[in-house]
Structure 1
Amino acid sequence: MDASPSRAERRAATAARILEAAQAEFGAHGAEGATIRGIARRAGVDPSLVLQHYGSKQGLFALAVRPAADLTAEGVPAHLAEVLEARLTDLSPATKALMRSMLTSAEAAAVMREYLQERTENLARTFSGDDAELRAAAIVSSILGVTIARHFLDLAPLKDADEARIADLTATWLAPLT
């Protein structure tokens, strides 16, 4: 029995390696600073393969920063705690890429806006009252702000604080909104 991977399996593995390399490159350099050559070098492939698999740098960027999974309304409260914990510790290369680029790239801004709107809508479905969407938007925006202040602006109280302490404070702060 032949155990070697099929051509389709090798192609899928190459595409996954390129996507992972792109997430790291966009995370390190943003949408404008990352290059096809840098992505290819990181993935260990020829630059033409990057374009063959993904068409363009913009197309690859859109895939590299897109969230991997959709959230159901039932899972929002637990997910909110997980997101906050994740944003306080380390950011994935895809998240770093999106956040570094969202103020300078219209495409990145659109991806972030769509992502935040989806998170807001999912969270709002778990609330009651006329202001459910506004409360949800405030929570989603607050997590974005904490993430930016801690990881990109190095705001001393957030940067230097223990993750557990920040999580406790933030949970207390967000509790009345939920």
Structure 2
Amino acid sequence: MENRLSRAEKRAATAARILEAAQAEFGAHGADGASIRGIAKRAEVDPSLVLQHYGSKQALFALAVRPAADLRSDDVPAHLAEVLEVRLRELPPATRALMRSMLTSPEAAAVMSDYLNERATNLAKSLPGADAEARAALVTASILGITIARHFLNLSALADLTADQISAVTDSWFDSLDVTVAPGPPA
């Protein structure tokens, strides 16, 4: 017996394909350079379907660059080393789109600002000391800078780092900022 998709399932699959294509297109060309036609071509749909599903390029952009699910504040320090390693490898399409567009699109700038402020606030809650907010902001801003240098400016020294090299550098960096990257054994 052939397994057929319902109309709602087909519609959801098309919407997901368009969103994925939009992330790739915005990642490649930014908010201003991407077009509905380019997104439709990448998704292999008619351009009218893009608008039917998402209403406008701006609405689609806002969804395409939305950061992944938030972490609880107690997960943030342990997550930092993982984030750095991921940022030095391949960027997810939504992240690439957001970063490529954050300096030219007010919508992208607002999304990025909100996301970075949330990350810094959550990290600060998990750090000791009166200067926890400043240290958290420095770590957050540094990860952003590392990501830009690696993926958009092609800083060659970052391109070929191994996981061990990343760990060695980040461990000493985090130590200097008094950031615990992994929970230690109970005292």
Please indicate the TM-score interval, normalised by the length of the shorter structure.
over 0.9
Partner of 1:176: 176
Q: Give the equivalent residue in structure 1 for 2:137.
A: 137
Deviations 1:31-81 (A, max 9, x none): 111000110111111111111111111111111111121100121122111
Report if aligned partners of 2:116, 2:140 keep a CA contact under 8 Å in 1. yes
Check conservation: 2:150, 2:158, Cα contact below 8 A: yes
**CA distance in 2 between partners of 1:36 and 1:88 (Å):** 30
Q: 1: distance between equivalents of 2:150 and 2:2?
A: 51
Amino acid paired to 2:132: A
Could you say which residue in structure 1 is the equivalent of 2:29? Answer: 29
Q: Structure 1 runs of 4+ off > 6 angstroms?
A: none
Name the CA distance, whole Å, in 1 between partners of 2:164 and 2:144.
18
Change (3 A) 1:3 1:155: closer
Name the amino acid aligned to 1:174.
F
Q: Between Structure 1 and Structure 2, how many residues are aligned?
A: 178
Query: Alignment partner of 1:171: what SS?
Result: helix
Structure 1 stretch 137-146 or stretch 165-174: which is displaced more? Answer: 165-174
Give, as a single letter, the amino acid of the residue that structure 2 aligns with 1:41: K
Deviations 1:104-153 (A, max 9, x none): 11111111111101111111111122221111111010111111111111
Q: Does 1:92 align with 2:92?
A: yes
CA contact (8 A) 2:81 2:170 kept: no
Task: Kindly indicate whether the alpha-carbon contact (under 8 Å) linking 1:88 and 1:163 is maintained by their aligned counterparts in 2.
Answer: no
Alpha-carbon distance, 1:160 to partner: 4.4
Contact 2:84 2:143 in 1 (8 A): yes
What is the alpha-carbon distance in structure 2 between the residues aligned to residue 81 and residue 132 of structure 1?
A: 18
CA RMSD of aligned residues (A): 1.6
**Which structure features the higher share of helix residues?**
1
| Unmatched tracts of structure 2, length 5 or more | 180-187
- Residue identity in the other structure for 1:122: N
Query: Secondary structure of 1:3's match?
Result: coil
- 2: CA distance between counterparts of 1:176 and 1:29? 38
Structure 1 residues 164 and 151, CA gap change in structure 2 (3 angstroms): farther
- TM-score, normalisation: structure 2: 0.89
